[in-house]
Chain A
Amino acid sequence: MQWWCAAQTAAWSWAWRPYPGVWLFILTVAAAFAWLRRRATSRDDGMRAAGITGILLLWVALDWPIGALGGGYLASLHMVQFLLIALVAPPLLLLGLPAGAVPAHARVLQQATHPLLALLVFIAIVYGTHVPAISDAAMATQWGSFLIDMAWLGGGLLFWWPVVGPGAARERMSPPLRMGYLFALLVFMTGPGAMITFSDVPLFATYELAPRVDGIAALDDQRVAGLLMKVGGGFIIWVAISILFYRWHRTENQLIEREMADVA
């Protein structure tokens, strides 16, 4: 029995398989989330729902069947995992943390989550984990696959911290800067997305030499993965930019209306 989803030589089967390491990890994340919320002074049910959704999506991404298929059979589902673990679950988890849950003013945390550093580290993780040699070596073992998933989650939390981190964390950059920060990721994700989509040959041995799932050809699967990275990742980032823009616009309007009322 495997504890974490990784590449396998056996043919894919739709028979359910347990991954106890994933369950233990999800329970740990849920416990940490609950503990951090309890520390906070303010509580908001809407934010809690976002956090719980983030934990559930993390579970979906890591456990059978998506985790198992993405771990060793289909590059496209590996990309779905990446999108969920690095781009969807982290902002939801952070939105679930009320102000005061984490000491956002702490010097160490402020330095570690400096927007430029966060962006660079996340880009390095995105590029590094999509280098075929690194990905193939990692996905061959459960520990390697676990490290890839943790790098995505850690990098995702770091990247989203300046945008939707709790309390003062998100006030570090003005709304236009936060939108620009998200857009920068979009630009940098174009590189690996294009490389994976337009390559003439399968790049990842893990998926090229894996037993076929429903006869899906390795190159077709890889092209879907590349498109998911570009289009799916782009969609997530544009949704975030749109929400930021809408909120900024609404705040500015409210300020103008208040000033007009004061003048009147």
Chain B
Amino acid sequence: MRSGMRHTHGRSARGLALLCLILPAVLAACERAAGNDDAQARERRTGFRGVLLDAPLEADFTLTDTRGRPFRFRDEARDNVALLFFGYTHCPDVCPVHLSNLAAVIQRLPYAQRSRIRVVFVTTDPARDTAQRIREWLDAMDPSFIGLRGTVDEVTRIQHALHLPAAALEAARPDGGYDVGHAAQVLAFTDGVARVAYPFGTRQTDWLHDLPILLVQLED
């Protein structure tokens, strides 16, 4: 009986010791694997976790920034990695999630890299998005983010040129508010040309993987 108990205790101790070895390894693997499965599959195919565009896109437009000054996108995109996103400040889900994840990643990059990234937000809801509102909304995420306004026609033309669907106002809610349907991807420009898009669902690990590669492309 005693020998049987010792045997059981020995097995238990070995089981616990094994568990102590296996569990940290499982946790480490989990942390490494945390990310978007689709993005990781894309990375294996293309080297990018973002979606490679079928054909490179160029954008040359001028809109008004939140200080009321004209902002020519092409000039900023030429020497920096420019991340262009169309959205609106009343957006309840995609816009704040996408941009705040991007802000969290950019803030973690070294200054030399951070200073060469421009995040450009173009409002698709100019009726409600005043320059002041856009500035306050972007400042809450990252004061370096650039906010642009234009007329609906101007913004629609830019979206068409970039092969993006035009933003569309949705039916008014009972509280008088309304949502705006818009493209949910961030377009990444290097040397003034967009080659990669980042759809909603792009995670911080994905940005951390791709931004340094985009910066290297810029150097090349």
Contacts and interface: CB of A to CB of B under 8 A. Distances in A.
Task: Please determine whether chains A and B interact with each other in the same assembly.
Answer: yes
Interface of A: 9-11, 116, 120, 123, 127, 131-133, 184, 188, 191-192, 195, 199-205, 208-212, 215, 217-219
A133 B33 contact: yes
Given A116-B12, A195-B31, 19 more contacts: A11-B93, A116-B15, A120-B15, A123-B19, A131-B26, A131-B30, A132-B34, A133-B33, A188-B23, A201-B205, A202-B203, A203-B30, A205-B36, A205-B201, A208-B203, A208-B204, A210-B97, A211-B96, A215-B96
A9 to B, nearest CB: 7
Instruction: Tell me the interface secondary structure of chain B in the complex.
Output: helix
30 contacts: A9-B93, A10-B93, A11-B93, A116-B15, A123-B19, A123-B23, A132-B30, A133-B33, A184-B16, A188-B23, A191-B27, A201-B203, A201-B204, A201-B205, A201-B208, A202-B101, A202-B204, A203-B30, A204-B34, A205-B36, A205-B201, A205-B203, A208-B204, A209-B201, A210-B97, A212-B97, A215-B96, A218-B104, A218-B204, A219-B104
A191 to B, nearest CB: 5
B203 A209 contact: yes
Contacts of A208: 97, 101, 203-204
B111 to A, nearest CB: 18
Contacts of B140: 215
A195 B204 CA distance: 17
B33 A132 contact: yes
A217 B100 contact: yes
B27 A209 contact: no
A127 B19 CA distance: 11
B34 A201 contact: yes
A211 B97 contact: yes
Contacts of A131: 26, 30
A192 B104 contact: no
Nearest to B103: A217
Interface residues of B, number: 28
Contacts of A215: 96, 140
A195 B104 contact: no
Nearest to B36: A205
A11 B208 CA distance: 26
Interface in B81-131: 92-93, 96-97, 100-101, 104, 108
A215 B93 CA distance: 11
A245 to B, nearest CB: 23
B24 interface: yes
Contacts of A188: 19, 23
A25 B42 CA distance: 42
Contacts of A205: 36, 201, 203
Contacts of B203: 201-202, 205, 208-209
Nearest to B26: A127
A209 B97 contact: yes
Contacts of B30: 131-133, 195, 203
Contacts of B204: 201-202, 208, 218-219
A10 B179 CA distance: 12
Contacts of A133: 30, 33
B7 to A, nearest CB: 14
B104 A217 contact: yes
Contacts of B36: 205
Contacts of A200: 108
A205 B97 CA distance: 11
A156 to B, nearest CB: 19
B92 A211 contact: yes
Given A191-B24, A208-B203, A212-B100, A203 B15 contact: no
A169 to B, nearest CB: 19
A212 B31 CA distance: 23
Contacts of A199: 31, 34
